[in-house]
């Protein structure tokens, strides 16, 4: 009985995702890349953690209230950054790796979401069970080696498919929040600059593994201003301010990332990288929130388990994650704008050779 109920829930989630895709199909009338593969943490996890032994889950109300009122496991009220990029690419929302049975995985050719909340670049970063970035890449390896060849029979066509697809990696904030800033963290002996360098080295090794499997076009997120999340904000009776100590620590990593990606692009033949400058763009929003439609940039929309009514006016949905309104602004700007993703947007990445 429990198994059949779980199957019904999975089917319901998939149907819901397809309905959302159809409702937003006006963004892009046809598929413009073969596939979209998503790696990362809770910023782009769409429900993989539902299948794991962890408290880091978002499959309960009020999450998903604007996703057909379905709590799929997204850590927001509606769509994530990755969801909106998929729609703009003319693709269905990438199915969750852990939700697709082994016997069905070879039918999926438009991309997969491997992301897992509370995980980080380092295997030691986690809160309970999660799919480490290493584990996500292991699953992608299986996709490339075992599943895709069953639909794409020519090795040449498979190489072309992989080289033209888009690969999003949105990860790193938990390596600070759950690891470096944690008294029980595994690398507290390193100074801030050493830790940033270590994280970048570890990320680089993992990007190379994805590249070696055939990926060529990457979208890599910097770590955002986590000192400005509701859980980190410094509050007094008269003011609310970002925790700049936290922001400056993370900035060391984010400032070095573009240079590291440029090095990789030089080393890895035919690779192309764009970085998502969350820090600078979110600061632009903070400087003029009204211009972006926000009235509250410090507090979570969800208070005492209840969502606010005016969700489009809140930058944050919960204690750490953006509301769909913010995700839409970031995704659309990265896809076709000039202020967030560098050295160019995703639209140009698609057509680059």
Residues serving a catalytic function are 42, 318, 321
Would you tell me the crossing angle of helices 2-23 and 81-88 to the nearest 10 degrees?
60
Residues in the chain: 353
DSSP string, 102-164: TTTGGG--S--B---TT--SSTT--SSS---HHHHHHHHHHIIIIIGGGT---HHHHHHHHHH
Helix (H, G, I), strand (E, B) or coil at 195: helix
| DSSP track, 240-270 | EE--HHHHHHHHHHHHHHHHHHHHHHHHSTT
- Tell me the H-state helices in 229-339: 244-267, 278-287, 324-336
Which residues partner with 341 through β-bridges? 276
Strands 240-241 and 166-170: unpaired
Handedness of CA 111, 113, 114, 119 (dihedral sign): positive
Contacting residues for 43 by C-beta, under 8 A, at least 6 apart? 75, 80, 81, 115, 170, 171, 173, 221, 321, 322
Evaluate the omega torsion of the peptide bond into residue 177 and state whether it is cis, within 30 degrees of 0: no
Distance between first and last Cα of the chain: 52
Which of 307, 308, 257 shows the shortest CA–CA distance to 278? 257
Cis amide prior to 214 (ω within 30 degrees): no
Q: DSSP secondary structure string, 7-55? A: HHHHHHHHHHHHHHHHHTGGG-SS--SS-EEEEESTTT-SSGGGGSS-S
């Amino acid at each position: 009985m429990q198994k059949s109920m779980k199957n019904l829930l999975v089917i319901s989630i998939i149907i819901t995702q397809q309905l959302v895709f159809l409702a937003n199909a006006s963004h892009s009338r046809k598929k413009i890349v073969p596939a979209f593969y998503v790696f990362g943490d809770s910023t782009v996890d769409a429900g993989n953690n539902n299948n794991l032994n962890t408290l880091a889950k978002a499959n309960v109300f009020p999450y998903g209230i604007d996703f057909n009122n379905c709590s799929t496991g997204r850590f927001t009220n509606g769509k994530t950054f990755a969801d909106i990029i998929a729609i703009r690419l003319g693709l269905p929302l990438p199915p969750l790796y852990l939700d697709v049975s082994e016997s069905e995985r070879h039918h999926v050719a438009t991309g997969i979401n491997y992301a897992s909340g509370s995980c980080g670049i380092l295997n030691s970063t986690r809160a309970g069970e999660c799919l480490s970035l290493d584990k996500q890449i292991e699953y992608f390896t299986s996709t490339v080696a075992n599943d895709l060849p069953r639909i794409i029979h020519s090795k040449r066509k498979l190489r072309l498919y992989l080289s033209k697809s888009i690969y999003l990696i949105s990860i790193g904030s938990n390596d600070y929040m759950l690891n470096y800033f944690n008294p029980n963290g595994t690398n507290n002996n390193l100074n801030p600059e050493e830790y940033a360098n270590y994280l970048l080295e570890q990320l680089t090794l993992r990007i190379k593994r994805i590249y070696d499997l055939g990926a060529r076009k990457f979208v890599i997120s910097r770590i955002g201003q986590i000192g400005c999340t509701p859980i980190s904000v410094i509050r007094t009776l008269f003011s609310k301010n970002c925790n700049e100590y936290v922001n400056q620590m993370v900035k060391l990593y984010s400032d070095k990332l573009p240079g590291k990606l440029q090095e990789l692009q030089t080393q890895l033949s035919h690779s192309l990288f764009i970085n998502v400058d969350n820090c600078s763009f979110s600061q632009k929003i903070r400087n003029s929130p009204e211009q972006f439609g926000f009235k509250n940039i410090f507090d979570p929309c969800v208070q005492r388990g209840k969502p606010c009514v005016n969700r489009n006016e809140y930058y944050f949905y919960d204690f750490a994650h953006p509301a769909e309104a913010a995700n839409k602004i970031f995704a659309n700007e990265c896809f076709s704008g000039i202020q967030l993703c560098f050295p160019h947007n995703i639209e140009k990445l698609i057509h680059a050779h």
